[in-house]
Structure 1
Amino acid sequence: MSVAGDSSEADRTALTVEIRAKVYGAGGPEPVEAVRDLAFCVPTRAITCLIGPSGAGKTTTLRILLGLDTAFDGHVTPSPDTAGIAMVFQEPRLLAWRTVEQNVRLALPRPERQRPLDTLFESLGLTPWRGRYPGALSLGMQRRVALARALAQTPRILILDEPFVSLDDASAAALRGLVVDSVADTGVGVLMVTHNVAEAIAIADRLVLVSARPASLVATVALDRPRDARDRVWAETTRADLASHYPGIIAV
C-alpha cells in the first residue's frame, strides 16, 4: 500500500476530475458547501474506489461526473457528454414489463439494438435468463442485468454506486468477480463508490479517500498487491494501517 498522486498515470487516464467548489444555494441565506478541492482521475484498466463518510458529498460528485449538475467551479475532462460513461446504480432500475435482453438492449442507441450480445450475456452468466422478466430473478441476478446493460454500451468509464449493497456474501463476491473480469476483458476504467472498506481493499487498484462535507481529497492510496495474493492477513493489516492514518474515514 502506498500514497500516490495521479500524474504518473496520465498516459492511461480515462477521466480527470477537478471540483474546486460546489455550493448549494450559493448567494442565498443558507448556502451549503458540498465539495471543496476534490481532484482525482479514473485510470483505464483499473478499479478506483471512492470512500468517505455518509453525507460527505459523494452523490453530488457522481452527479457532476454524469453531467447532471453543471453548477460547480471546476472541470471534468473529457466532458460527461463525450467521456463514454455508463452507470450502475444501487438499485437495478429494470423495467418489470421487459425481458432481461430487452432491458439491456434498450440502453443502446436504436441503430445498435440488434447487434449480437451473446458473448456479453455468456460472460455474465445471463444466457439462460435472457427471455425472463426481472421479477423472476434474485436481486443478485438483477444486478448482473444492470451490469450487462452498462457494459453493452462499451463505455470507457463504468461508475458503480454501492453496487453490492444488501447482497449476501456469495452473491456480492460473484458480482465483484464479474466487475474485475470486465476490467481485464474490456480495459474499462471503473469508479466505485462504496462504504464497504473490506470490498474496496479486495478489488480496488487504488482508493480515493474524501473528508466529511465538504468533500475534499484526503489521500489517494495505491493497493499494489495483486488481487489473487490479497489474503485475509494482508487485508486486515491494510485496513488497520488505513484506519491509523485516516481515522475519520476508515473505521478500525
Structure 2
Amino acid sequence: MSRPVGLAQTAPAHEHIAAVNLPPTIAIRDLTMRFGAGTADAVLAVDNVSLSLAPGEFVSLVGPSGCGKTTILNLLTGLLKEEADGDVRVLGRPPREGNPDIAYMLARDSLLPWRTALDNAAFGMEVRGLPRRERESRARDLLQQVGLGDFADKFPKALSHGMRQRCALARTFALDSPVLLMDEPFGALDAQTKLTLEDLLMQLWSAHRKTVVFVTHDLAEAIALSDRVIVMSARPGRIVADVAIDLPRPRDVRKLQTDHRFHDLYAKLWRLLEQGAAAHE
C-alpha cells in the first residue's frame, strides 16, 4: 500500500494565535433546540448553548449519548433551523442546506459500491459541478495523500474498512470547504486502525487548516486531535466546560500515550463528564 505523502507540517503557533483574533468561523449564541416543539411529546435536546470557533480551530464535542452533539452538527448544516431558537452563524451567515462552505463526514463511509475509489473521492465535487478533469486530479491527489494512490481503480468491496474511511476522508477534504463537520468518523474502527487514521487526519488538517467540529465519545481521541474540547451534559445538552488542550503541535497520537499531560487532561475531562451526568440525576 502506498503511504501518505506531500502533507505539510502544522502551522507555527503564532499563526494559530493570529487566527483567534479574526472573526469566528462558527458562532453559536443561546441555542435551544426542541424536537416536536409545541406538542405534548416535545423533547428539549439542546439548552442555552453558546460556542465560537476561530478560523482553523479543531474543536471536539464530547458528552453522553443523546446530549445533542449530532444535533448541533445538523443545525450548522441548516437541516433543523425551523425548530431552533438562538443565533447560529457559519462564516457570518445563517446556516443553509447545501452550503458549499461545509463538508460533513459521517460515521459510515457511505461509499457508492458501483464507483471506484477515485470516482467516490470525486463524487462530492461532481455534485458541486466541478469539471471532470479538475475533480479527478484533486481526488487522485487526495487519495495519494491518504495512502490509497495504488487503489484508485478499486471498488469499495476490495477495500478494508479502514481503507474505505481513508477514501471518505479524501472525498471530504477534496471538497475544499473551509468548515469540516465530523460525526464519530472513526468510532467503528479497531484500535490500531483508529490511531492510524487519527494521525492521518492530523496531517490533513495541518496541510489544509479547516475549521473542524468533531463529535466523539473517545476522550483520548478528543485530546489527541483538538485545540479545545467542549464537554456537554446529559440531555438536555448544556456546555459543562470548554477545556483548552495545550499540548504542542505537531502531535504524534501514539507518543501522546506516554505523556503525563495527556493523562492529566484525560482525568480532568472524565471528572467533568461525571459532573455533567450527575447534574441531571
The answer to whether TM tops 0.5 is yes
Q: Does 1:110 align with 2:129?
A: yes
Q: Does 1:100 align with 2:112?
A: no
For residues 150 and 122 of structure 1, the distance between their equivalents in structure 2, rounded to whole angstroms, comes to 14
Unaligned ranges ≥5, structure 1: 1-7
Task: Give aligned pairs, total.
Answer: 244
**Is the CA contact 1:14–1:44 (under 8 Å) kept in the aligned structure 2?**
yes
For residues 15 and 195 of structure 1, the distance between their equivalents in structure 2, rounded to whole angstroms, comes to 22
User: What TM-score, normalized by structure 2, do the two folds share?
Assistant: 0.80
For residues 276 and 64 of structure 2, the distance between their equivalents in structure 1, rounded to whole angstroms, comes to 6
> SS at the partner of 2:246?
coil
Q: Does 1:80 align with 2:95?
A: yes
**C-alpha displacement at 1:165, in angstroms?**
1.1
Cα distance change of structure 1 residues 32 and 160 upon mapping to structure 2, 3 Å threshold:
same
- Alignment equivalent of 1:52, drawn from 55, 60, 63: 63
Aligned residue in 2 for 1:33: 44
- Alignment equivalent of 2:218, drawn from 187, 196, 200: 196
Aligned residue in 2 for 1:238: 265
* Mean Cα deviation higher: 102-111 or 189-198: 102-111
**C-alpha displacement at 1:41, in angstroms?**
2.1
**C-alpha displacement at 1:20, in angstroms?**
2.5
Aligned residue in 2 for 1:215: 237
Aligned-partner residue type, residue 55 of structure 1: G
**Structure 1 consecutive aligned stretches of length 4 or more whose deviation exceeds 4 Å:** none
Q: Percent identity?
A: 33
Aligned-partner residue type, residue 80 of structure 1: P
Deviations along 1:151-178, one digit per CA (max 9) or x if unpaired, are: 1110111111111112122211111112
> SS at the partner of 1:107?
helix
User: What TM-score, normalized by structure 1, do the two folds share?
Assistant: 0.89
- For the aligned residue pairs, the C-alpha RMSD in angstroms reads 2.1
Cα distance change of structure 1 residues 42 and 125 upon mapping to structure 2, 3 Å threshold:
same
Q: Does 1:174 align with 2:196?
A: yes
For residues 17 and 10 of structure 1, the distance between their equivalents in structure 2, rounded to whole angstroms, comes to 17
For residues 220 and 57 of structure 2, the distance between their equivalents in structure 1, rounded to whole angstroms, comes to 18
Unaligned ranges ≥5, structure 2: 1-18
**C-alpha displacement at 1:237, in angstroms?**
1.8
